[in-house]
Amino acid sequence: MDIVHSFCFQENKVTWLYAERHNRVLTVRRAEESLLPIMINAENLERSATAIQVANHLTTLAREYDLQVRQGLFLLSPKFALVRPVVVDKSLPSQLQPDYPRQEMLQTLTLPEDEYLIYVPQYERENNGYLLKLAIALNIQLYRFFQRVVEESGWQVNHIGLSSFALDALYRATYPDLTGQSLLVNFTERGYELTLVDENGFLDVFYRPYSRNIESIERLEEEAILSNFDAMLEDIQRPEPLVHPKYNIAHILVFGSYFRPEWKDMLISQTTIPIQIFDLSQLGNWQLVFDDPDLSAETAFRFIEPIAQIIAGDIDS
């Protein structure tokens, strides 16, 4: 039996899942959400004390929850990185193809190259006769910050990754019979985190704030939060100045710690695309057991990301 602690970080919040994994049975013992003591942003990353504050917060929570954390998984919001799908012409000489996504990413960066960790994952898919690859850029200061958090906590963290790819793995494990493009909509504090996938894997990732001023969801009326949902879908599928659609979304799955189930009907009224709450009750060949009295299959949509990281880790292994 493996004991797993999965942490998912937003700029000002951590979602923490403690679970036990045995074969294909995942027993969730505890799930918690906590505001961080300090915002993870460019200004605070320059302060050496920021990582110590976050690490102390995590270890304090562990003591309060009476949890012994030895190993963990860190999952980061895609807002912490730049993920760029890159179309590669097959006519490009084969010796140039491996470095092409990296060179394309360099064209979009706003800081010098040495300010980033640039990663080209083992990802490739056909797209209308072209190859689609990915390039990922993570600010090196941010990466070092999370390394410092790990060091200061005294824990062993086996993986630091982006939530979008874990969500893709969880989606295909949970909805193996869905075909076509699906948009996974995470309701975060200040906007939608959007992961586009299909039955073959990851396609793209986006972020759209709820308001122009990037206000907290807690300060907005429901109408202000949800009224631009249809326009957001149109912007993703047909970004300007394209005439023809870039994507064709067939399904929408909603979740997140700020999502409210009563919003589902309001969202459905805005679009003809089928919408459902991300449902873990039919998790492929996994059995999901909830031992936390405050959590069930019906409320697990609040903790989709940390659950996704555990499932994705098993799939990747």
pLDDT tens-digit map of 165-214: 999 999 998 998 899 999 999 999 999 999 999 998 999 999 999 988 88
Q: How many CA atoms lie within 13 A of 295 on its CB side?
A: 25
Q: Give residue 315's pLDDT.
A: 45
- pTM > 0.75: yes
Place 288 in a pLDDT band, splitting at 50, 70 and 90: confident
Question: How far, in Å, CA of 248 to CA of 250, rounded?
Answer: 6
Is there a contact between 197 and 168 (Cβ–Cβ < 8 Å)?
Answer: yes
DSSP for 66-92, written as a single string: T---SEEEEEE-GGGEEEEEEEE-TTS
What integer is the mean pLDDT of 278-301? Answer: 86
Per mean pLDDT, which range of 124-128, 198-202, 268-272, 296-300 is the poorest?
124-128
Question: Is the separation of the CB atoms in 149 and 55 below 8 Å?
Answer: yes
Q: Over the chain, what is the mean pLDDT?
A: 90
In this prediction, residues 18-43 reach a mean pLDDT of: 91
- Could you tell me if 158 and 24 lie in one domain? yes
Angle, CA 304 vertex, CA 234 and CA 57 arms, to 5°: 115
Do residues 41 and 144 both lie within one domain? Answer: yes
Residue with tokens 């929570």: 61
Last residue of a domain, one of 162, 195, 218: 162
Q: What percent of the chain has pLDDT over 70?
A: 98
pLDDT of residue 314: 54
**Residue 185 CA: distances (Å) to CA of 8, 55, 153:** 16, 29, 31
Do 188 and 234 have their domain in common? yes
Structural domains in the chain (count): 3
Identify whether 239 is part of a domain: yes
Q: pLDDT by residue (tens digit) across 226-272?
A: 888 998 999 999 888 777 888 999 999 999 999 999 999 999 999 99
Put residue 201 in one of left, alpha, beta given phi > 0 → left and psi -120 to 50 → alpha: left
